[in-house]
Structure 1
Amino acid sequence: MNYRTCVLPSVLSLLLVSSLNAQVLTDSVLVEGHYRPFHYSTPPLALRKPSLVFVLHGSNGSGLDMMKAAARMEQQARTENTLIVYPNGYKRYWNECRKASPAAANKENLNEQAFFEAMIGYFNKRFGANTNQVFAVGTSGGGHMAYKLALTMPDRFRAITAIIANLPDTTNMDCVPTGKPVPVMIINGTDDDVNPYNGGLVNLGPTMNMGEVRSTARTLAYWADLARYRGQPRRENLPDVDPNDGRTIERYTYRELGKPEVVLLKVIGGKHDYPNDLDVHVEALRFFIRQIR
């Protein structure tokens, strides 16, 4: 894959993050005529062949927004030999697998696979990132982008986590899956009025009809079936850390030796947001670390 890395003076950021004692850098790669930016904190010198985690923003979001949301994950990653990267979607959206998406990234058919290939190459060359330990966690539209990476690039992504996102319905699927199983964790709220837990239309407003998605049960079953699981997953109740938020979390796990782990965190009463009972990004990092231990 041919690509050129270019630092854009107008967007190069050197922002001090005092809590992490690190600088935030913004760089970009040139992919098929488009400069695609991404953000990351300067890694500690102690990192050796670090794992690489991409944190993907939701529709109309940005990588810098996600740096704030994933601050605890970033801090823990620095003790887990892991480098966190926060890419920007094209014009604040991703070209993910929803055929109905009116976003420019979808309409112009941006080559997202080439973008992620270029970033993997960039961090391998610059920091020696381990290309066999690459992961992605995304929220909402970023969750859809994470699904696309798992569906179309399973040889590059060791595992993914999708937060408040279900797979597109079959009539709304705009990707050609490889059919290869990968470890997947899903975190969805039962009262989500944007990404319907039981499936249906995703509508972000009068001009942002994203088409229909599958139910969370069908989404979980898709990944479990690929991994050849049979029967019911193991169920457990997670601690209700914040009893005043009206939410509880159930974890459903498919895990067998020699098979990719598939997990659902069902946030009962959860909406299109993050639960208070756990940090979803820290939970994603723990899930990723399990896949390499």
Structure 2
Amino acid sequence: MFTKKKMYQLVVVVIALIGMIAVIIGLYAYRWNLVNPLKKATLTIGNFERTFVYHVPRQVSSHPKLIIAYHGTGMWASLMQVFTGHEFDEQADMTKDAIIVYPQGYESNWNDCRKTAPYPAKQLQIDDVSFTEQIIAFFSNGYQIDKKEVYAVGFSNGGTMVMKLARQHPEWFKGFAVIGSNMPAASNDDCEDIGQPVSMLFVSGENDPIVPYQGGEIILDGKNFGFVKSAEETVAHWLTISQCTSENYKSSYYPNINPTVFRKDYMAPVTEKRICFIRIANGGHTISNRNFRIPIKKLGYMNTDVDVPVVIWEFFMSLK
């Protein structure tokens, strides 16, 4: 039989549980776009309908920046938002000065610079460069973005797509960021390089099970994606283009004690372009961040000593 004291204790517990559930639902609603859901748009590029989703902060500034985030092989657009822990959206919401776009690759892939690529985006020569151009035009016309403040970030196949844009149309962007991607080896490269200096940040895991840090052949799900350069050869390529000297750099570490993440920042004195290389000693094929840390065995270990989306945001915002 319940006494008044036990009844009171039960009511307190129930109220506490309701409060906890309300907080969890509130955080969930914010995190998963129930309050400010992703918007969606479609463009026709050639004979193909292409889609993208995007996050616009409430009360966004009159001429916001634009960040385009390209997903990896086999992913869909909104999953790039999840893999980055919604942190680009968070940063945009805090500043109210940027729109974050997540484009959808054709059948979940991008037509990058690799000759050997066993997916329809490459085989059909899907025009992802024009898709990107039209995305920028969409936001220029509809949201009056600052076209001098457009940035590209990509993961895996999305990273190789970002490097293609940097090689062919660097004038569209102020900065680039590449996560878990190496340039194709010369024998596997079908892109022309105009050689214009750029500012670019690289993140590479030394234990990446998909894109080998030391370079070599990429085999994914039994399919051959050809040979790629090493992470350090990839960075060296962009150091040369951007007229940065490999001897002139600043080193930093995460964390300060027993570091597992090593960073080098290069500045080109003539072009004022910057190259940043973040090497994760025990990192896998992941986007390290504080919000999305669900382990995926196929992708390897996720290091939690560095918050990659925040580092990329800070790099972009620091560019002149």
Q: Residues 105-144 of structure 1: matches in 2 within 5 Å?
A: 105-144=121-160
Query: Separation in 1 of the partners of 2:218 and 2:94?
Result: 38
Q: Which residue in 1 is equivalent to 2:285?
A: 272
> Does residue 75 of structure 1 match 2:103?
no
- Tell me the alpha carbon deviations over residues 103-141 of structure 1, each in whole angstroms, 9 at most, x when there is no partner: 100000011111011100101111111112111111111
Give the counterpart letter for 1:260 in structure 2.
Answer: K
Contact 1:144 1:167 in 2 (8 A): yes
SS of the aligned residue for 2:94 comes to coil
Q: Which residue in 2 is equivalent to 1:248?
A: 260
Give the counterpart letter for 1:97 in structure 2.
Answer: C
Q: Residues 1-293 of structure 1: matches in 2 within 5 Å?
A: 18-19=30-31, 21-70=35-84, 71-80=86-95, 81-206=97-222, 208-240=223-255, 248-257=260-269, 258-274=271-287, 275-292=303-320
Note the residue ranges of structure 1 that are not aligned, 5 or more in a row: 1-15
Contact 1:56 1:63 in 2 (8 A): yes
Query: Separation in 1 of the partners of 2:212 and 2:29?
Result: 36
Q: Runs of at least 4 residues of structure 1 off by over 6 A?
A: none
Matched residues, number? 273
> How far has the Cα of 1:230 moved from its partner?
2.3
Give the counterpart letter for 1:190 in structure 2.
Answer: E
> How far has the Cα of 1:223 moved from its partner?
0.5
SS of the aligned residue for 2:254 comes to coil
Closer, same or farther: CA 17–49 of 1 in aligned 2, 3 Å: farther
- Tell me the alpha carbon deviations over residues 131-180 of structure 1, each in whole angstroms, 9 at most, x when there is no partner: 12111111111111111111111010211111011111111111111111
Query: Separation in 1 of the partners of 2:224 and 2:132?
Result: 26
Query: Separation in 2 of the partners of 1:156 and 1:250?
Result: 30
Query: Separation in 1 of the partners of 2:279 and 2:224?
Result: 25
- TM-score (norm. length: structure 2): 0.81
SS of the aligned residue for 1:77 comes to helix
Query: Separation in 1 of the partners of 2:59 and 2:285?
Result: 38
Of 183-192 and 35-44, deviating more is: 35-44
Q: Identity of paired residues, percent?
A: 27
Of 252-261 and 124-133, deviating more is: 252-261
- Tell me the alpha carbon deviations over residues 16-50 of structure 1, each in whole angstroms, 9 at most, x when there is no partner: 95246412111111110111100012332231211
> How far has the Cα of 1:190 moved from its partner?
0.8
Contact 1:233 1:252 in 2 (8 A): no
> How far has the Cα of 1:242 moved from its partner?
10
Q: Which residue in 2 is equivalent to 1:5?
A: none
Of 36-45 and 60-69, deviating more is: 36-45
- TM-score (norm. length: structure 1): 0.88
SS of the aligned residue for 1:155 comes to helix
The structure number with the bigger radius of gyration is 2
SS of the aligned residue for 2:315 comes to helix
Query: Separation in 1 of the partners of 2:117 and 2:311?
Result: 29
Note the residue ranges of structure 2 that are not aligned, 5 or more in a row: 1-27, 288-302
> How far has the Cα of 1:241 moved from its partner?
8.4
SS of the aligned residue for 2:147 comes to coil
SS of the aligned residue for 1:147 comes to helix
Contact 2:182 2:211 in 1 (8 A): yes
Query: Separation in 2 of the partners of 1:290 and 1:223?
Result: 19
Query: Separation in 2 of the partners of 1:68 and 1:154?
Result: 27
